[in-house]
Chains A and B, each alone.
Chain A
Amino acid sequence: MRSPLFLILLSSATAVADPSALAQAELHLGYGLAMSGSGTTMSKRATPLTLTALVSYAFEDEPPLWGYGGLVVETLDRSAVGGVFGVKYTPRGSRLHLAGGGSVLVAPDSLIGATASGGYCRPQGKTLGVCGDLQVTSYFAGGDLADGRTVTQVQLVLGAVLDVL
């Protein structure tokens, strides 16, 4: 097991361009559909464009686990900023990955949610990878939500991952 200090730096929902890499920097671009409520009051609308900058660190060899954390920005039809964090699992010898964690928006209003994603990364050279993920985020608390409502968004996420260590 690698140094737990780096768990604080947590990381990505994308895969490993180089299986021996210890740390990665990632940039994600997400867009999709957000749903809320049920029946006649169900809303279904486009999500904001979500930009995410992440740092990830491999903290466990077996099973191969990465922690990730970073900043998230919502834009297009609104402006919001917050953070994301979580753990990613990348099976050995595979370009697939699964990730789960939390997403918290802090400004201009609060929003707290849980997120899960799965995807595939394709190496582009020695240190770069391009990834596609399907990400589900459920916001269940925060001042931006109406009372008693939750919002679930399903996004297609395109990412670039760079090995930095």
Chain B
Amino acid sequence: MCSRPLAVAVVLTIIALAGCTPGICGRTSDCATGLQCTTAGACVVPPVDAGADDATTVADSVITPIRDADGDALGIEPIDAAPAGDGNDIDAPDDNGLRGPR
């Protein structure tokens, strides 16, 4: 009794499958291993994350101090603005006028 509807359903399924669009994905599992399904329905290589394995941690970023021969860390002196008149100025000669030929 139910064999006819079943056969009709099978035939309809086969016809529907004939119109498949295999190049377009709906799920990532439709794609080959390692590829990802995009919103546009394309299987692409997923973008590489700057993931946890590659991330530079704060600990990695610590500056190793320069040490002297005894192993003591050398301090890094701050660079202060030198006080005016400490000799860094370019002093003009006292007699800095332009002179004409004598």
Binding site for B on A (CB under 8 A): 31-37, 41-46, 78, 80, 108-109, 111, 120, 122, 132, 134, 139, 143-149, 151, 154, 156
A34 and B2 contacting across the interface, CB-CB below 8 Å? no
Q: How far is the CA of A120 from the CA of B4 in the complex (A)?
A: 13
Q: Is the interface of A mostly helix, strand, loop or mixed?
A: strand
Q: Are B9 and A43 in contact (CB under 8 A)?
A: no
In the complex, what distance in Å separates the CA atom of A92 from the CA atom of B53?
A: 61
A80/B29 contact (C-beta < 8 A), A32-B13, A36-B41, A37-B41 known: yes
Tally A-B pairs: CB < 8 A: 89
Chain B hits for A78, CB < 8 A = 29-30
Apart from A31-B13, A41-B41: 16 A-B pairs, beta carbons within 8 A: A36-B41, A41-B24, A43-B26, A43-B41, A45-B20, A45-B22, A45-B26, A108-B29, A109-B28, A120-B2, A122-B2, A132-B9, A145-B27, A146-B25, A146-B41, A148-B39
Contacts of B2 in A (CB 8 A): 120, 122, 132
Does the CB pair A144–B39 fall under 8 Å? Answer: no
Chain A residues positioned under 8 Å from B25 (CB to CB): 36, 43, 146
With both beta carbons as reference points, the residue of chain B lying nearest to A37 in the complex is identified as B41
Report Cα–Cα, A41/B41, bound state, in Å: 6
Pick the contact of A146 from B13, B17, B28 — CB < 8 Å?
B28
Residue in B10, B26, B37 whose Cβ sees the most chain A Cβ within 10 Å: B26
Smallest CB separation, A128 vs chain B (Å): 15
Q: A154 CA to B13 CA in the complex, in Å?
A: 9
